[in-house]
């Protein structure tokens, strides 16, 4: 029935109530129109029997390589395979050496609003112009990995922030031209951002991080590994404006102190993974704050934090029972007391690094092996450069049935026979050990045997 002048038909009223989906409906209609106007007739039995929508759905599960192969079957399959609806998730890492700017521009124009995930890690030929084209055509992009794309500059990120408001995750690791301007742009245009990685972006300072935190308070994962200008002020801003942070990587941000880590511990109660390796100013105060506030912490990396002592780790072991991975390399002040408390309080511990912890002895390993984590969970144990470790340690570890790898480099009191005994009980274990080259014994008859003069990996 025809609607009167000035009145809207019921069907039009119904469609107007679903305005948020209009763009997607238009895109679907464009796909249908493209096929309806096409004069190409399928020349194989499968294509004749299956509707085009079904074929498109099947192709949507294929990866980039498979889609390109399907596109070479026939002209009809080429149209199907290269349709934008099949290119919602694209990972070009395996083709990084071959990908250049025009390829990304072509993909952007072909995919349009369908594209949601794009990984360009290591595509160093891709520059800002290509990313600007991406931003102009692919407004629905949600996850973008530009790590190691060294030609990307602030101009590209500013264009993304203007056109891609749905962006939730961006990786800018090792994009050396990125500065605070990019973070300020993201804070203005991408309020839904939840993951960002600016590791090794040396131009990033506390000003950019603070601006980002103020505008993007949904951030859950933040990484600024190697950003020397990220300091206490930046970290405190993250704590105040982004209390939902769960993963925080501050590796080598060596100017941060206990003040900022204590604030993170206090405000970010859902913190699960923390890396402060090489943050040499930190003391047990940081560990105590984490123990008091972050009971769900499961990963802690503190390699090179030489001021940490047994006191801080004992507090952690008593309150953070969900710890699964700990890197304590070069925490040279810890003793067997730390291992004793980890054995009692952390039954889920899977990976433990104790490299260069020179006060650890066989007694500490015995207590660790006798704890709940050893029998059920412990799979990786790194003990390289622990000079007090002897064959007795390997005897204690025989009961660790899930142990898959152990590092014993420069543990000079470990013998080959002890390693063989361990492998007899745990045949699948990988043991990495170093033994100094031995002078070959003299031979009377036959050719001289050949010996490897480098390290031996068992």
User: 87-178 with 283-437: one CATH topology?
Assistant: yes
Q: What DSSP element (H or E) covers 338?
A: helix 336-345
Q: Where are the domains of the chain?
A: 41-86, 87-178, 283-437
What is the pLDDT at residue 110?
83
Q: Which of 275, 264, 271 is nearest to 226 (CA)?
A: 275
**Rounded average pLDDT over 378-388:** 96
For 227, residues 6+ apart whose C-beta sits below 8 A from its C-beta are 198, 199, 200, 201, 202, 204, 252, 253
What is the pLDDT at residue 255?
96
First CA to last CA distance, the chain: 83
The two tokens of residue 242 are 């982004």
Integer Cα distance of 395 and 362 in angstroms: 10
Q: Which of 12-26, 91-105, 107-121, 365-379 has the lowest mean pLDDT?
A: 12-26
User: What confidence tens digit (pLDDT) does each residue in 233-243 have?
Assistant: 999 999 999 99
Options 3.90.870.20, 3.40.50.2300, 3.40.50.150, 3.80.10.10; CATH for 87-178 is 3.80.10.10
The two tokens of residue 5 are 């002048």
What backbone torsions phi and psi does residue 211 show, to the nearest 5 degrees?
-60, -40
Report the SS3 class of residue 77. helix
pTM passes above 0.95: no
What is the pLDDT at residue 81?
73
Say which CATH architecture domain 41-86 belongs to. Answer: Up-down Bundle (1.20)
User: What confidence tens digit (pLDDT) does each residue in 331-348 have?
Assistant: 999 999 999 999 999 999
Say which CATH architecture domain 283-437 belongs to. Answer: Alpha-Beta Horseshoe (3.80)
Sign (positive or negative) of CA dihedral 249, 251, 252, 255: positive
Q: Sorting pLDDT into bands at 50, 70 and 90, what band is 437?
A: low
Give the helix ranges, DSSP H, for 148-305.
154-163, 180-189, 206-215, 232-241, 258-267, 284-293
% residues pLDDT > 70 (the chain) = 84
User: What confidence tens digit (pLDDT) does each residue in 24-60 have?
Assistant: 555 655 555 555 545 566 666 666 777 878 888 887 7
User: What confidence tens digit (pLDDT) does each residue in 136-157 have?
Assistant: 999 999 999 999 999 999 999 9
Integer Cα distance of 323 and 291 in angstroms: 11
The two tokens of residue 444 are 């009377």
What is the pLDDT at residue 87?
76
Does position 294 have pLDDT exceeding 70, yes or no? yes
Report the SS3 class of residue 29. helix
Q: What angle do CA 155, 160, 164 make, to 5 degrees?
A: 165
């Amino acid at each position: 029935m025809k609607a009167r002048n000035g009145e809207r038909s019921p069907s039009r009223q119904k469609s107007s109530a679903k305005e948020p989906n209009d763009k997607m409906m238009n895109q679907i209609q464009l796909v249908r129109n493209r096929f309806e106007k096409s004069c190409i007739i399928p020349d194989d039995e499968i294509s004749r029997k299956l509707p085009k929508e079904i074929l498109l759905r099947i192709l949507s599960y294929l990866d980039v390589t498979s889609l390109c192969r399907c596109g070479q079957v026939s002209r009809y399959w080429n149209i199907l395979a290269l349709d934008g609806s099949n290119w919602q998730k694209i990972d070009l890492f395996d083709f990084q050496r071959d990908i250049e700017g025009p390829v990304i521009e072509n993909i952007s124009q072909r995919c349009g609003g369908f594209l949601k995930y794009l990984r360009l890690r290591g595509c160093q030929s891709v520059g800002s112009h290509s990313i600007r084209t991406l931003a102009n055509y692919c407004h629905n992009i949600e996850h973008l990995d530009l790590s190691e794309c060294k030609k990307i500059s602030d101009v590209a990120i500013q264009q993304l922030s203007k056109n891609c408001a749905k962006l939730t995750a961006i990786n800018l690791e090792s994009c050396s031209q990125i500065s605070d301007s990019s973070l300020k742009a993201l804070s203005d245009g991408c309020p839904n951002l939840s993951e960002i990685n600016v590791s090794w972006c040396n131009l990033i300072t506390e000003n950019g991080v603070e601006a980002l935190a103020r505008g993007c308070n949904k951030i859950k994962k933040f990484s600024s590994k190697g950003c020397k200008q990220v300091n206490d002020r930046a970290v405190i801003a993250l704590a105040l404006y982004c209390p939902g942070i769960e993963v925080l990587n501050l590796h080598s941000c060596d100017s941060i102190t206990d003040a900022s880590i204590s604030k993170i511990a206090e405000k970010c109660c859902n913190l699960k993974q923390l890396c402060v390796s090489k943050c040499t100013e930190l003391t047990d105060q940081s560990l105590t704050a984490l123990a008091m506030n972050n009971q769900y912490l499961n990963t802690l990396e503190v390699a090179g934090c030489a001021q940490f002592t047994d006191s801080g780790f004992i507090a952690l072991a008593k309150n953070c029972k969900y710890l699964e991975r700990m890197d304590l390399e070069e925490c040279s002040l810890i003793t067997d007391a730390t291992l004793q408390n980890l054995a009692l309080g952390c039954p889920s511990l899977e990976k433990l690094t104790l490299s260069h912890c020179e006060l650890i002895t066989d007694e500490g390993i015995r207590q660790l092996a006798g704890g709940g984590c050893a029998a059920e969970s412990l799979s990786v144990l790194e003990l390289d450069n622990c000079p007090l470790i002897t064959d007795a340690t390997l005897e204690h570890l025989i009961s660790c049935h899930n142990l898959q790898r152990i590092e014993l480099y420069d543990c000079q009191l470990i013998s080959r026979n002890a390693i063989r005994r361990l492998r007899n009980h745990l045949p699948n274990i990988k043991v990495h050990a170093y033994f100094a080259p031995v002078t070959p014994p003299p031979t009377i008859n036959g050719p001289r045997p050949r010996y490897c003069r480098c390290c031996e990996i068992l």
